[in-house]
Amino acid sequence: MSTDFRRFEIDEILSDGSPIRIRAIQPGDGERLQEHFRTLSPESVYFRFFGMKKRLSPQEVAALTGCDFMRDAVLVATRGSNAEERIVGVGCYVPPRAEVDGHRAEVAFAVSDAFQGHGVGTILLEHLAEIARANGITEFEADVLGENNRMIEVFAQSGFRVKRYLEGGVFHVSFPTAETSEHEAAHAARERTAAARSVRPLLAPASVAIVGASRHAGSIGAALLDNAKKCGFKGPIYPVNPRAKRLLGLRAYPSVGAIGAPVELAVISVPAAQVESVIDDCARAGVRGLVVISSGFGEASPQGREMEHHLRDEVRGAGMRMVGPNCMGLLNTDPRVSLNATFAPNWPPPGNIGMLSQSGALGLALLDCARKLHIGLSTFVSVGNKADVSGNDLLAWWEEDPRTEVVLLYLESFGNPRAFARVAPAVARKKPIVAVKSGRSVAGKRAATSHSAALANLDVAVDALFRQAGVIRAETLEELFDAAVLLSSQPLPAGPRIGVITNAGGPGILFADACEAAGLTLPVLAPKTRSKLGSFLPPQAGLSNPVDLLAQAGPEDFERAIEAVGADGSVDALVTIYVPPRVSRPAQIAQAIATATTRVPAAKPVAAVFLSSEAPPPALSKCRRGSIPCYPYPENAARALAQANHYARWRERPAGKPIVLDRFATSAIRAVIDRALASAGGSAWLGPGDVAAILRASGIDYAESRRVTPGDAPAEAERMGFPLVAKAIAPGLLHKSDVGGVILGLRSAAEVKAAAKGLEERMARIGAGLEGILLQREIAGGLEVLVGVATDPIFGPLLVCGMGGVLAELLGDVSYRLTPVTDVDAAEMIGKLRMGPLLDGYRGSPPADREALALLLQRVSALVEVIPELREMDLNPVKVREPGRGAVVVDARMRIWGQA
């Protein structure tokens, strides 16, 4: 059987921030293996082989290059590409000498001396363990010389539950290959730290070369050089232009290699056809980071896409990182760096917001808006085509960057949403992430055959991803900036209760309406607060909430009211709404607001609304409390506060844990799937018996059922007992109820016989041959629910839950999550449904087993992790019975897809 080597290929980041490629060893790697062995120092050879040797024997090379990736596996870490690719690390597992049950393997590594201590062994171990788990190997073991401290450290810090003992100067190490929470945490932390370090040469370089620098006004090369110089970059700037001697007073060079000094970042703006040769020059010169402004790649044509893929391979093979191509650059306002590697005309004010834009043109607009709104940025990156550096890498940087407190994202696509789902929650636990994702129209909805797939679309997947990751989704760019100014200047609210002070009743009512729509409340103020307000306000003033100071209110009224309402314990946040009266005093009112908010408890966010065509008075951005966000309309403030409140509640929620199926369940399920794939050779709907076997192996309660011929149906019914349901089995028949393919309430053999005949007649009328009948135990009562899976080609499996039965698509009462789904996710999915009151017993109806439904969602999620070939699944209906009686699947369909 041939091995598909591509499925083992992945790019990783080492602890020093440089990329490495992990791939399966291949039959043609013999000479590379020997060359790798020759690079090992005598000490490394001794540690690996417990003795000295000069080369690998032909038998050893054949054994390493001929593994089957089941009983044994060999992975290599490589640098370079194509003919220049070289092996810098090898990791393998092989059956132990005293093989007994096939569930153990010996693991070993050999890493080039220059790459030791950078995490190569750790990465190889993680991927070998993943392969081993898939092949039923449950335990790794290894012998390590006592003085081989680096290898002992690899095992100790892996997060696996390692046992070891020392005998004769050799440590014998053993550990289960199963993932642990400690291993997952260690893996995630390693990934984020490495990604952050890999971005450092891009955002905080010690030196910069501008390749394509020009003296021609209006050209991108001229703008790049001018921006880098006038914004005060702290390191040396090297213009590169083979036809110039000096540019903007700086010596110019014909190539990066000709500079003769270390260059950490190269910003490239040359025609697309010249980019590859420039990158080769940069690689030879030891450049660490690239920003490729040039266009004409994946965004332009299929040929450009091929060029882009080749560039990425060249960059990663050389140990570099690249932003772009087809981007507008990046900047860092840190005074210690002052890097402007963009061609944008505006340099934003420094601040605590990190911003990413996937669109170059929109990036220009975002920088201009940030400047006009006085929104300070720590860093800005236009990622362009994201051939290498992605938003996931930048999130890792911003997580560790002390100058960044809020992250803003404008996204058009996801390269690796599963990686985003790992990285974003860790960042969001510390810093808010606000994102605008374009392309959310219903035009993206896919044609589908199951209820689950028909209900899902790309935007649903984005919503699910953001909700699970704690990302605040903004509908518009205006919402993006509204949230940014609040989150970057104010604390998170402790709850949804908002206190409002206004000098006009109408805007106060609009604000109250917007709050209610967004899940915020305006509580009744405490008697003490109302009494204090009444002591200085006129009798006509409104003392409830909103507090209406009336149009004649002066600065002192605003100041005293803010202090009183801000001190009220029933208020979590404070908003002041000001409408300039005929005789306007906005500057004095703004000063009063700024002064009064310094006496509001520091834990309560405050915001202002100035309903005026004029810019907000500067007093609001320069008070002792810091900058007070000021909005043009009440609805803007309400939405921003609601987003901050939802985000704060997400941060308080526990992370939760997913269910993982044990080895025996996994083996049983895989046996069914592998057999079905072998017989189908491609896409196939599983038969009822296979579906039932898979569900029961997963611990999912499936109504007792048996497949029979029409003639055998009465006798089999007698053996099963009554009442029963008869369901038609026919080629291509998916929605049986739509064509009368389900007959309920069968209470005798005679009724079953009649039902069998009726199903034959009904199938004949629609031109479908009846292949058999599924007799199933009838489950009385219970609330009908849909649980399913739809697989998006980009986002992967989406778990679906909602109102079941024949009305599932019509009502559209569903919620979604990306798998894996934790217990917390499952409870939130159910809580989001409009049918939620039915689960609790609506208007005298019996309640349903909410906990059983949540457990079912988790088990389906666990099942998805075992069957990557799953494309669609419908459990509809699921009968959720009274509390304590569980949930039973009544009808189920599963479609898998695999290569022939």
The radius of gyration of the chain from alpha carbons, rounded to an integer in Å, stands at 32
Spatial CA neighbour of 513 closest among 485, 544, 546: 546
pLDDT band at 613 (very low <50, low <70, confident <90, very high): confident
| pLDDT confidence of residue 99 | 62
Q: Hey, is 897 helix, strand or coil?
A: coil
Pairing of strands 630-631, 606-610: parallel
| pLDDT confidence of residue 96 | 87
Q: Tell me the longest C-alpha to C-alpha distance in the chain.
A: 100
| Residue given tokens 């016989």 in the structure block | 753
| Residue given tokens 């450009």 in the structure block | 304
Is 90 exceeded by the pLDDT of residue 443?
no
Q: Hey, is 89 helix, strand or coil?
A: strand
Q: What is the pLDDT of residues 544-579, one digit of tens each?
A: 899 999 999 999 999 999 999 999 999 999 999 999
- Say what percent of the chain tops pLDDT 90: 72
Q: In the numeric block, which tokens belong to residue 851?
A: 């906990």
- Taking the CB of residue 502, how many other CB atoms lie within 10 A of it? 28
| Residue given tokens 């050893």 in the structure block | 60
Q: Which residues contact 235 (CB under 8 A, 6 or more apart)?
A: 205, 206, 207, 208, 264
The answer to whether 892 and 695 are in contact (CB under 8 A) is yes
- Say what percent of the chain tops pLDDT 70: 95
- Signed CA dihedral, 67, 68, 74, 80: sign only: positive
Over range 409-417, report the average pLDDT. Answer: 88
The answer to whether 407 and 354 are in contact (CB under 8 A) is yes
Residue predicted with more confidence, 415 or 428: 428
pLDDT band at 98 (very low <50, low <70, confident <90, very high): low
| Residue given tokens 């009440």 in the structure block | 634
Residue type for 336, please? Answer: R
Give the helix, strand, coil percentages of the chain, each rounded to 5: 40, 25, 35
Distances (CA, A) of 133 to 23, 45, 136, 659, 668: 18, 29, 5, 16, 15
**Which helix (H) or strand (E) is 392 found in, with range?**
helix 391-400
Residue predicted with more confidence, 445 or 233: 233
CA atoms of 806 and 877, how far apart (whole Å): 8
How far is residue 784 CA from its own chain's centroid?
Answer: 32
The answer to whether 491 and 405 are in contact (CB under 8 A) is no
Strand partners, 408: 355, 434
Over range 444-452, report the average pLDDT. Answer: 43
The answer to whether 469 and 424 are in contact (CB under 8 A) is yes
| pLDDT confidence of residue 449 | 45
| pLDDT confidence of residue 521 | 97
**Which helix (H) or strand (E) is 13 found in, with range?**
strand 10-13
Give the lowest-confidence range in 36-50, 229-243, 800-814: 800-814
Over range 410-435, report the average pLDDT. Answer: 92
pLDDT band at 456 (very low <50, low <70, confident <90, very high): low
CA atoms of 873 and 895, how far apart (whole Å): 6
| pLDDT confidence of residue 655 | 87
pLDDT band at 1 (very low <50, low <70, confident <90, very high): very low
Q: Which strands make up the sheet holding 10-13, listed edge to edge?
A: 10-13, 19-24, 73-79, 86-94, 104-111, 139-145, 170-176, 163-167
The mean of the pLDDT values for the chain is: 91
Give the lowest-confidence range in 230-234, 257-261, 725-729: 725-729
Q: What is the 3-state secondary structure (H, E, C) of 101-123?
A: CCCEEEEEEEECHHHCCCCHHHH
Over range 187-201, report the average pLDDT. Answer: 94
CA atoms of 420 and 395, how far apart (whole Å): 9
Spatial CA neighbour of 267 closest among 226, 307, 296, 316: 226
| pLDDT confidence of residue 418 | 87
pLDDT band at 538 (very low <50, low <70, confident <90, very high): very high
Is 90 exceeded by the pLDDT of residue 157?
no
Is 50 exceeded by the pLDDT of residue 444?
no
CA atoms of 271 and 876, how far apart (whole Å): 56
Torsion angle of alpha carbons 228, 231, 232, 237, nearest 10°? 0
Spatial CA neighbour of 419 closest among 796, 889, 85: 796
Pairing of strands 73-79, 19-24: antiparallel
CA atoms of 379 and 134, how far apart (whole Å): 42
CA atoms of 440 and 457, how far apart (whole Å): 9
Question: Counting beta carbons within 10 angstroms of the beta carbon of residue 898, is it exposed (0 to 12), middle (13 to 18) or buried (19 or more)?
Answer: middle
Strand partners, 873: 789, 894
Is 50 exceeded by the pLDDT of residue 148?
yes
Angle, alpha carbons 227-231-235 (nearest 5°): 100
| pLDDT confidence of residue 447 | 36
Is 90 exceeded by the pLDDT of residue 30?
yes
Over range 384-389, report the average pLDDT. Answer: 96
| pLDDT confidence of residue 807 | 56
Q: What is the pLDDT of residues 342-359, one digit of tens each?
A: 999 989 999 999 999 998
**Which helix (H) or strand (E) is 422 found in, with range?**
helix 417-428
CA atoms of 184 and 320, how far apart (whole Å): 27
Is 70 exceeded by the pLDDT of residue 380?
yes
Q: What is the 3-state secondary structure (H, E, C) of 255-308?
A: CCHHHCCCCCEEEECCCHHHHHHHHHHHHHHCCCEEEECCCCCCCCCHHHHHHH
Q: What is the pLDDT of residues 775-803, one digit of tens each?
A: 999 998 899 999 999 988 888 899 999 98
Q: In the numeric block, which tokens belong to residue 729?
A: 């089995």
Q: Hey, is 554 helix, strand or coil?
A: coil
The answer to whether 886 and 851 are in contact (CB under 8 A) is no
- Taking the CB of residue 231, how many other CB atoms lie within 10 A of it? 17
CA atoms of 887 and 736, how far apart (whole Å): 22
Residue type for 351, please? Answer: G
The answer to whether 594 and 568 are in contact (CB under 8 A) is no
Q: Which residues contact 544 (CB under 8 A, 6 or more apart)?
A: 524, 525, 530
Is 60 exceeded by the pLDDT of residue 445?
no
